[in-house]
Amino acid sequence: MERVLESPEAARYEVVRLSAADSPGDVAARVGVAAGDRPLLLVMDDAQVSGDESLMALRVAAGGSPRARVLVTTLSGPAAGRPDPVDCLRFEPGAYTIDVPPLTVEEVAVLLAALAGGHVRQATADALHAATGGNPRLLHDFLVGRRLTERLTRGAAGWEFQCATEWQPPMDPSAATPHLVKATWDAWAALAFDRAFELCKAAAWCGEGHTVSVPLAHLLLLRGRGRDSMSFLDSLPEGVVESTPHLALARAVNLACGQGRPEAAAEFLLRAAVAAGPAQRPLLLAYRAWIMALSGRSADDVGAITRTDRETALFVHAAQAMARLRTRPDEAVFHLRRALALTAGGTESGPPWLAAHLTAYLIDALLLAGRAGEATLLAAGFHGGEPASGWDVAVAMSMVAA
């Protein structure tokens, strides 16, 4: 729109900028003041949010002024979420419609490369495209307004966002970035961990570290950066980790697997469970039982834990499976299959990497139980790298455990 208004053709007109919030009286008054010898060019940006009366006033003003022209921009198509309110204007005599599609991932990558001065990681371009939907205004807001270009650093695979390993306090609520936060959680739930990690880093620099703390803590751990994960968890406000189950789980896994201190992990979860309310206590105790069984240590009677929700039941079954893996593999198979069924509840049923972790152990349990056919069938798709199969996650978790 601005390019049109800067053109020599537009210079022949008296430009009248109208707002989508203008009332019919406002439209008539502005047009009346601007009326003169030159023809009028009536301009309205984001016309899709205007009311019916304002649109009708715009049409009347254009029809009442000789040689007047109208230029409106609107959001249409699936992104609008409803029929375009200004669609009626498309069928006026002499009307022209120009469709400007959003930027593609490839175009975002080219733009980033030009700004960074070199090749940009595909995951970084994917992350910005997911957060903006290819909308140039949102992209400009992130890269320039929020200065994300200053957070780019050169990595082995190209330019990427710097990692924030300390919690950044939230910004003014008016500066929130819901598109960025939603894209982060969507990528986390979809096992798109490279994209999710880049989105987490961008969100942290935009003051949204508090809203993406869970995926960021886990992703740092999955990338073998346990020290950074612990540093980030330690920087969170007091009590946040203990009162947020998936953050408590991240700290426990870090202690038990990343640092080889399962007793410290069990003690931490026990303290958190004692301090927690009745709603969260069973879940934290289930985490503890699973951590202890995973490290070959006996826990209290796991079956006595009250299964108040889907995730608590999941970790109870996971703990029972780990305790029986070597001595009663058939029983372990049953509990692992039940736990995997419970992971279907999404992020409310454990972190997304958990299903891949359990599947890897299920293959082992089937082999130990002498059920090689089932193990081979399960492993064929899992190792084959099918989309969201989680094989890379299982490998990452095995590295953490090592």
Q: Which of 20, 73, 95 lies closest to 51, judged by CA?
A: 20
Q: Is the pLDDT of residue 377 over 90?
A: no
List strands edge to edge, sheet with 69-72. Answer: 14-18, 40-44, 69-72
3-state DSSP assignment of residue 312: helix
**Pairs from 88-92 (Cβ < 8 Å, separation ≥ 24):** 88/55, 89/55, 89/59, 92/59
Residue 384: the pLDDT is: 61
Q: Is the pLDDT of residue 371 over 60?
A: yes
Q: Is the pLDDT of residue 197 over 70?
A: yes
Other CB atoms within 10 Å distance of the CB of residue 23: 13
Cβ atoms of residues 311 and 282 within 8 Å: no
Report which of residues 337 and 395 the model is more confident about. 337
Residue 207: the pLDDT is: 87
Q: Measured between alpha carbons, how far is 41 from 28 in angstroms, rounded to an integer? A: 14
DSSP string for 209-270: TTTSHHHHHHHHHHTT-HHHHHHHHHHSPTTHHHHSHHHHHHHHHIIIIISS-HHHHHHHHH
Q: Which residues contact 147 (CB under 8 A, 6 or more apart)?
A: none
pLDDT per residue over 236-278, tens digit each?
999 999 999 999 999 999 999 888 899 999 999 999 999 999 9
Q: Measured between alpha carbons, how far is 189 from 57 in angstroms, rounded to an integer? A: 47
pLDDT tier at 304, thresholds 50, 70, 90: confident
Q: Measured between alpha carbons, how far is 168 from 149 in angstroms, rounded to an integer? A: 18
Q: Which of 4, 10, 78, 81 lies closest to 45, judged by CA?
A: 4
Residue 33: the pLDDT is: 86
Q: Which of 396, 393, 381 lies closest to 355, judged by CA?
A: 393
Percent of the chain with pLDDT over 90: 52
pLDDT tier at 119, thresholds 50, 70, 90: very high
Q: What is the DSSP secondary structure assignment for residue 84, as one 8-state letter?
A: -
Other CB atoms within 10 Å distance of the CB of residue 3: 7
Residue 299: the pLDDT is: 65
Report which of residues 99 and 280 the model is more confident about. 280
Strand spans (E) along 110-192 = 152-155, 158-161
Cβ atoms of residues 250 and 287 within 8 Å: no
**Helix pair 193-205, 122-132: axis angle to 10 deg:** 70
3-state DSSP assignment of residue 63: helix
Looking at residues 295-319, what average pLDDT do you find? 86
Of 103-107, 163-167, 317-321, 392-396, which gets the smallest average pLDDT?
392-396
Q: Measured between alpha carbons, how far is 395 from 357 in angstroms, rounded to an integer? A: 9
Report which of residues 1 and 388 the model is more confident about. 1
- What value, to the nearest 5°, has the Cα angle with vertex 197 and ends 192 and 203? 120
- H helix runs in 276-328, sequence order: 281-294, 310-324
3-state DSSP assignment of residue 103: coil
Q: Which of 261, 257, 182 lies closest to 224, judged by CA?
A: 257
Strand spans (E) along 25-141 = 40-44, 69-72
Q: Is the pLDDT of residue 312 over 70?
A: yes
Class of residue 186 by CB neighbours under 10 A (exposed 0-12, middle 13-18, buried 19+): middle
3-state DSSP assignment of residue 8: coil
Residue 228: the pLDDT is: 92
Looking at residues 297-313, what average pLDDT do you find? 83
Cβ atoms of residues 16 and 36 within 8 Å: no
Q: Which of 309, 397, 402, 322 lies closest to 365, judged by CA?
A: 322
Residue 398: the pLDDT is: 63
Residue 123: the pLDDT is: 94
Mean pLDDT estimate for the chain: 87
Q: Is the pLDDT of residue 85 over 80?
A: no
Q: Which residues contact 7 (CB under 8 A, 6 or more apart)?
A: none
Most confident of 48-57, 78-87, 116-125: 116-125
Of 148-157, 278-287, 375-384, which gets the smallest average pLDDT?
375-384
Of 47-51, 85-89, 188-192, 387-391, which gets the smallest average pLDDT?
387-391
pLDDT per residue over 41-55, tens digit each?
999 988 888 888 888
Q: Measured between alpha carbons, how far is 128 from 381 in angstroms, rounded to an integer? A: 31
Length of the chain in terms of residues written: 402
Looking at residues 299-303, what average pLDDT do you find? 73
Q: What is the DSSP secondary structure assignment for residue 144, as one 8-state letter?
A: I
Residue 87: the pLDDT is: 76
